[in-house]
């Protein structure tokens, strides 16, 4: 039986998550939004891509939380993205209300789901989702580290002119200026990155990684990144559904671990 994924928020991140999940045939999809017509239209458009792309997952757009019932995974992307000059924390009040309200509704009808939170400010919204859902802490995960690590790996691969697949790294800490790309755990085809580039160059990459989200916001002006964030969400879902035991950096609630 196919799994079921609900994507809350049919905006840039949500619609792109749905697109990527459909392409990989990972689950039947429900896309829900507060806007009437938008999730329906985008879901239908995605569904109609199926004969061309060769997928036959079901995709439904809706404004009714009953349609999201018994989801295996719920991806929370509802809320507001930042604009140039805003930090992720500037979104706190507005997005707290959105996340609280929507998580209450999805948690009620999908009590066994795993929640993947994307809405910013990520760490605070993940904790909000944990509190509001009353789910166990291992079922409420924030998407941050996979994205931050992807940015870090991209910049290193570009600087060394090697495949991104050869670059392994870890970005820990919060999803913001406090994030910590860890050079000690960064290798290129097994070689510590410190042996391959001067410290100043690596420091510049670490700084660019920290500001990676803002770099995109400054280009887009009206919104924030969505291709890499959606790819990160899909990597997490694929790891969960295939029980890959992958080690992916995520936001999680810890009690002394």
CB 75 within 8 A of CB 17: yes
Cis peptide before 10 (omega within 30 of 0): no
For the bound state, the minimum distance from the C-beta of residue 79 to ligand APR, rounded and expressed in Å, comes to 4
Taking CB under 6 A as the rule, does residue 128 contact ligand APR?
A: no
| Sheet with 28-32, side-by-side order of all strands | 59-62, 28-32, 4-8, 73-76, 114-117, 140-142
SS3 at position 241: helix
In angstroms, the CA 138 to CA 71 distance is: 16
Taking CB under 6 A as the rule, does residue 176 contact ligand APR?
A: no
Helix (H) or strand (E) holding 240, with range, is: helix 227-241
Taking CB under 6 A as the rule, does residue 142 contact ligand APR?
A: no
Taking CB under 6 A as the rule, does residue 157 contact ligand APR?
A: no
Beta strands in the chain (DSSP E): 4-8, 28-32, 59-62, 73-76, 114-117, 140-142, 167-168, 171-172, 180-181, 187-188, 191-192
Q: Which is nearer to ligand APR, 128 or 187 (CB)?
A: 128
Taking CB under 6 A as the rule, does residue 77 contact ligand APR?
A: yes
Q: Which is nearer to ligand APR, 105 or 208 (CB)?
A: 105
Work out which of 57, 224, 236, 249 binds ligand APR, going by CB under 6 A.
Answer: 224
* Residue 211 DSSP one-character state: T
Size, binding site for ligand APR by CB under 6 A: 29
CB-nearest residue to ligand APR: 11
Taking CB under 6 A as the rule, does residue 110 contact ligand APR?
A: no
For the bound state, the minimum distance from the C-beta of residue 20 to ligand APR, rounded and expressed in Å, comes to 13
Q: Which is nearer to ligand APR, 55 or 80 (CB)?
A: 80
Residue 189: CB atoms within 10 Å: 12
CB 74 within 8 A of CB 119: no
Q: Which is nearer to ligand APR, 26 or 78 (CB)?
A: 78
Binding part of the chain for ligand APR, among 7-15, 45-53, 131-139, 241-249 by CB under 6 A, reads 7-15
CB 196 within 8 A of CB 202: no
Is residue 175 part of the annotated active site? The answer reads yes
Taking CB under 6 A as the rule, does residue 68 contact ligand APR?
A: no
Q: Which of 20, 42, 88, 175 is catalytic?
A: 175
Q: Which is nearer to ligand APR, 14 or 183 (CB)?
A: 14
Residues involved in catalysis: 175
**Chain residues that interact with ligand APR, rule: CB under 6 A:** 8-14, 33-35, 38, 77-82, 91, 95, 98, 101-102, 118-120, 223-224, 226, 229
């Amino acid at each position: 039986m196919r799994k079921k994924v609900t994507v809350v928020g049919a905006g840039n991140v949500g619609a792109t998550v749905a697109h990527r999940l459909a392409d990989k045939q990972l689950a039947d999809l429900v896309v829900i939004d507060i806007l009437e017509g938008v999730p329906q239209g985008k879901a239908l458009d995605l569904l109609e891509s199926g004969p061309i792309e060769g997928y036959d997952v079901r995709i439904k757009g809706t404004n009714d939380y009953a349609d999201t019932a018994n989801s295996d995974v719920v991806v929370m992307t509802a809320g507001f993205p930042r604009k140039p000059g805003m930090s992720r924390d500037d979104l706190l009040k507005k997005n707290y209300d959105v996340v609280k309200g929507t998580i209450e509704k999805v948690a009620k009808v999908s009590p066994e789901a795993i929640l993947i939170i994307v809405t910013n400010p990520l760490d605070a919204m993940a904790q909000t989702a944990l509190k509001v859902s009353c789910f166990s802490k291992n079922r409420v995960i924030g998407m941050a580290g996979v994205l931050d690590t992807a940015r870090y790996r991209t910049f290193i691969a570009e600087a060394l002119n090697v495949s991104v697949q050869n670059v392994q790294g870890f970005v820990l800490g919060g999803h913001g200026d406090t994030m910590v790309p860890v050079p000690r755990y960064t290798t290129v085809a097994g070689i510590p990155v410190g042996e391959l580039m001067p410290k100043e160059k690596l420091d510049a990459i670490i700084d660019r990684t920290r500001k990676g989200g803002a770099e995109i916001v400054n280009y887009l002006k009206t919104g924030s990144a969505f291709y890499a964030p959606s790819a990160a969400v899909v990597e997490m879902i694929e790891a969960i559904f295939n029980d890959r035991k992958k080690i992916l950096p995520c936001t999680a609630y810890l009690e002394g671990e």
